[in-house]
Amino acid sequence: MTSSPHPIEGVYEAREALDRALAAQVQSNIAQLDWPAYGSGLLGVLSSLTNLADVLVDQIDQTDRDQLYRDALRDHPHEALDRAVAHLTDMRRVLSTAIHEARGYWEEAQHIHDDTTHRPEDGD
């Protein structure tokens, strides 16, 4: 019986894929690229990160803080857990802002694309 990979492996794979895209992007000519596609891609990546943060907050919030305290080798791990949730919540807020900005970029890039690549034929 094969075991499923740990969920964090998918996060690492996504990071590596983004690193590869970045390395390729540095070598690309932006004038020859489809700008709106980057808006869509960025929006998708940011949305996925937000969804991951949502799941983590929900799962961490379900942790039995009393049991965590009883199992602690040092002082007050439940307080650290609460701070971790606060950090993830703040991250979701930042990602929400980033999603808003990515959506704005996408709309503007589409506007540029439509106004520069789909000109009416001369004489129409």
What is the torsional sign of CA 5, 20, 95, 114?
negative
For residue 45, the one-letter residue type is: V
Predicted pLDDT of residue 117: 65
User: Side chain identity at 108, as an amino acid letter?
Assistant: E
Compute the average pLDDT of residues 40-58. 93
Domain boundaries, the chain: 39-117
Alpha helix segments (H runs only) across the chain? 7-26, 35-61, 65-71, 77-117
pLDDT digits (tens, 9 = 90+) for 21-40: 999 989 888 777 788 888 99
Q: Which residues contact 113 (CB under 8 A, 6 or more apart)?
A: 34, 35, 36
Q: For the packed helices 35-61 and 77-117, what is the interaxial angle rounded to 10 degrees?
A: 160
Q: How far is CA 103 from CA 41, 91, 92, 93, 115, in A?
A: 10, 18, 16, 15, 18
pLDDT tens, position by position, 86-120: 999 999 999 999 999 999 999 999 998 888 865 55
- What number is the average pLDDT over the span 68-86? 78
